[in-house]
Chains A and B, each alone.
Chain A
Amino acid sequence: MSVTEYDVIIIGAGVAGLTAGAFLAGRGFKVALVTTGEPTACLSTGCIDVCSRDHNPLTGIKELPLAHPFHLAPEKTIREALNNFQAAMLDMGIPYTGALEENRLVLSALGTFKTSCLVPSTMEAAPQDAKDSIHIISFAGLKDFYPSYIISRRKNTKVSVYDAGVSSTMGIASHFEEKEFLEKFIIWLEKIDIQEDKIAFPAVLGLESAAKIINTISILTGKPVFEIPTIPPSMPGRRLFNALKNYFRKKGGDLYWSWPVIGVEKSGKIIEAVMTTSKGRPTSLNGKAFILATGSFVGGGLTATREAIIENVFNLPVHFPGTRETWFDNDYFSFNHGIGKAGIIADSSLRPTGSPWENIFVCGGILADTEIIKNGCGHGLALATAHVAAKSCMEYIR
C-alpha cells in the first residue's frame, strides 16, 4: 500500500469540501480531497441559497431555530465566505451577482420564483416580478424543459423553438461551445421578431461560456437575456462544480477523483489516515486533520436503514428525529419532513459532538437540523460552515 502524507484530508467534492480545501491550500497547507465522483452540486441550479425565509437573508438566518448550524457561523464569517466565493468565481470566469442583504428571484422552469442570494450572472436579468413580458427560446425535442409550465403563470410569454439537431441538455450545451453552431444560431435568432421585454433560455447556453454567450445575444438583440435553471443534468450546477474544482487545483490542492474511502486508521483520540482505493490500488492518506463534507443522503454522506441513520465514513453519531414513521410527513408539500433534521451535530468549532475524535471537522449538508428545502439554505450554508471548519482546522494544526 502506498502512503502519502498531508496536512488536511477532505472527504467530499461538493461546495463545502472544495471551498474548505481551496481556503486551506491557499494558505500553504498540503491538502488532499478524496471523492467518489461528481457531487450533488452538479444537480443544483448553481445558485447560492443563503436563507430564503426572509427578503433579507441575514434576517432570515436570525429567525432560524436555535439548533440550526447557520448559528455556528458569525455574520462576519458568512460575509467573508461569500466574498471569497464571489472573488474565486470571478477569477474562474463565472461571475456571481447578489448581496447578503437582499435575496434575488430566479425564474424556475415551472414559472415560479426561486429565492436565492448569489446567482450566476446568466440569471441576473431574470424578472423580479410578474410584469416583464418574456420571450422564451426553447429547443426542439428538449425533454427537460416545457415552456407551457411558465405560460401557466405568465400570460405575456411568447415561445420560439430552435432545432439544435440534438435534444439533451448536455448535447445542446456542448454545441454552444462550437463557434459555427453559435453563428448559425445567431443568424436564426436575428430573424425572430422579439417584442417582449426580456429573452429567456433554458440553461443550455454552453458548458462553460454561458456568461459570454448571453452577453453576445444581449448586445445583438438589445434586450436583457437570462437562463432558466433546468432539472438535472443542470448546466449551471456543473459550471459551478467545475469552477470550484479548478479553483481548488489552482490553489495547489490534490484531487483524488473517484477514490472512495474504504477504511479509517485511528489511534486514541486521533484519526490518523483514511484508506482509499482506485483501480484496485489501495492508498493510505495520512493527515493531521480531516474535514468531512460528504453531504446528506443524496450526496452519500448519510445512509438510512429501516432502523437507523448511519454516517458512512467515520461512523459518527447521527442525530435523527426517531423511528422511520417520523421521517416523513403525510403531506408531500408540508416542507416539514423530519428527515430534513437528520445529520451530525457539531460544536462551534464544527467538531462533531458525541464523538471521541478531536481532529475531525464537519461542514455542509451532512450537518444536523439544516432543513435545507424548508429554509432555502443549501450552498450558502455549505460556504459558511466550510469557512468555519477550515479556520478551526487551521488553528488545530498550528
Chain B
Amino acid sequence: MKKKAITPLIAAVLLVIFVLLLFTFQVPQSQVVVVSTFLKPTDTITNAGLYVKWPWPVQSLTRFDQRVQISEDKFSETYLADHSILLANLFVGWRISDGRQFMNVFKNGSTASAQQQLEQILRSAKLAVFAHYGLSDFVNSDATQLKFNEVEKDIQASVDKELAQNNYGIRIEFLGIKQIGLPDSVTKTVFGRMKAERTILINTAQYGGEADAAKIRAAAERQAADVLANAQADATRIEGEGQAEAAKTLAVFQQNPDLAVFQLELAALKSSMNKNTTLFFDETKPPFDIFRKLPASPETK
C-alpha cells in the first residue's frame, strides 16, 4: 500500500513542477517584462513576483532592465549666446518606462540603440539650450547670476519633450552637466592671462606688504606720540593741582614774609653747598666776621 502511494506521489510532484515551469514565470525586482500573445505585445509587468502565462508558442516573454541607466554624451564644443565656445558634456539617468513601446521603437529592445539615440537627443538639446546662455551664466562670482540649474532644467525639458513626442518608452530620471571646458587653444591664452595675474599678485603682495607695514609703524608712532602728549598734559595738570593744593598753605607764610623768605634762602643755601663747592669768604661775612672781633695782638698794637 505504501509502495503504491509513493510512486504516484512522485509522479504528481514532477507533474506539478513541470506545469509550474511551463505556466509560470518570475519577474525580478530590476526587470520589466513584456508579455506577447502570438507575438503581439499584450501586457507589461513591472512589479517583481511570480506570474502565470500560457506556454510558448501562445505567449512569450521579453525582458528589459528597468533600472536607471547612466549615459553621457560626447565632450563637445557648443556656442554660447555671447559667441564664446564652451566644451561640455552631460550625464543622464534614464530608464525604460514603457517596455512595449521601447520594444517597438528599438530593434529587439536594444539598450545600446536606445543609448545612441539618447546621446543624439542630448547633443542637440545641449546645443540648442547653450546657445541661449552666455559664459557669465556658467561661471560667475555672484552666485545669484549663475544659471547652471536653469541650463540643466532647460536641457531636460527639451529632452523630455523629444522623448514624449517620439514615444520612445524612455523616461529621464535626472540630468546634469558633468564637465565644462575650453578649447585647447583657449587654455593657452587663459594660462597667459593667469600668469600675468600671478605677476600682479606677487607685486601687490610685495609692495603692498611693505606699504602696509610702513603704515602700521607710522600709525604706531603717531599713537605713541599722542599717548606721550596726553601723559605730559596729565603731568602738567597734576603739577597744577599740586600747586593749587600748596597755595592753600601759602597763607601761613603771610604771617611773616621775612621769615618765610629767610627760611627759603637758608634751605637753598644748604642744598647748594656740597662737597665740590669752592667757597671764598672774607672776614666781613658771618661767621667769619668773628676774625674782626678778635682783640689785636701786642705786635699789632
> Are A and B physically bound partners?
no
User: Using a CB–CB distance below 8 Å, which chain A residues touch chain B?
Assistant: none
